Amino acid sequence: MNADSDEGNRYSGVFDQMKQTTRDGGSVRIAKEELKVARTNPLTLAAFNGEIIKIQSLLDTGANPNIQLKGETTPLACAAGNGHIDVVQLLLDHGAQVNAAKGAALNRAADGGHLELVMVLLNAGAEVESRNSGASRHSSFMSDYSALEYAVHGGVGLIVKTLLSHGADPNGGTGSALRMAATHGHLEIVSELLARGADVTAANKYGYTALGFAAVKGHAAVVQTLLDNGAEVTQAVLRVAEAQPSNEAIIHILRRGGAA
Q: How many percent of the chain have pLDDT more than 70?
A: 80
Helix 115-123 crosses helix 100-112 at what angle (to 10 degrees)? Answer: 150
Tell me what the mean pLDDT of segment 64-87 comes to. Answer: 92
End-to-end CA distance of the chain: 23
pLDDT at site 5: 46
Contact 103, 145 (CB under 8 A): no
pLDDT at site 33: 64
In this model, does residue 18 exceed pLDDT 80? no
pLDDT at site 166: 97
**Integer Cα distance of 65 and 72 in angstroms:** 14
What is the per-residue pLDDT across 29-44, written as a single tens digit (0 to 9) for each? 455 666 666 777 899 9
Contact 202, 172 (CB under 8 A): no
- For residue 22, give the DSSP letter: S
pLDDT at site 71: 72
pLDDT at site 207: 87
In this model, does residue 148 exceed pLDDT 60? yes
Instruction: Output the average pLDDT for the chain.
Output: 85
In this model, does residue 15 exceed pLDDT 70? no
Tell me what the mean pLDDT of segment 13-28 comes to. Answer: 45
In this model, does residue 2 exceed pLDDT 60? no
Q: What is the DSSP string of 165-177?
A: HTT--TT-TTS-H
Contact 108, 118 (CB under 8 A): no
Tell me what the mean pLDDT of segment 36-57 comes to. Answer: 89
Strand partners, 131: 146
Q: Where are the domains of the chain?
A: 1-21+175-260, 25-138
> What's at 252, amino acid-wise?
H
CATH number 1.20.1050.10 is the correct assignment for the domain at 1-21+175-260 = no
In this model, does residue 7 exceed pLDDT 60? no
Q: Which of 16-20, 158-162, 218-222, 250-254 has the lowest mean pLDDT?
A: 16-20
Model pTM?
Answer: 0.83
Q: Could you tell me which residue, 133 or 58, shows the higher pLDDT?
A: 58
In this model, does residue 122 exceed pLDDT 80? yes
**Integer Cα distance of 208 and 236 in angstroms:** 9
What is the per-residue pLDDT across 152-205, written as a single tens digit (0 to 9) for each? 999 999 999 999 999 999 999 999 999 999 999 999 999 999 999 999 999 998
Is the sign of the CA dihedral 218, 207, 158, 86 positive or negative?
A: positive
**Distances in whole angstroms, Cα of residue 33 to Cα of each of 21, 66, 181:** 14, 20, 25
**Integer Cα distance of 134 and 86 in angstroms:** 24
pLDDT at site 31: 58
CATH pick for 25-138 out of 3.90.960.10, 3.90.79.10, 3.40.50.150, 1.25.40.20: 1.25.40.20
**Integer Cα distance of 250 and 159 in angstroms:** 29
Strand partners, 73: 69
Tell me, yes or no, if the two domains 1-21+175-260 and 25-138 fold the same way.
yes
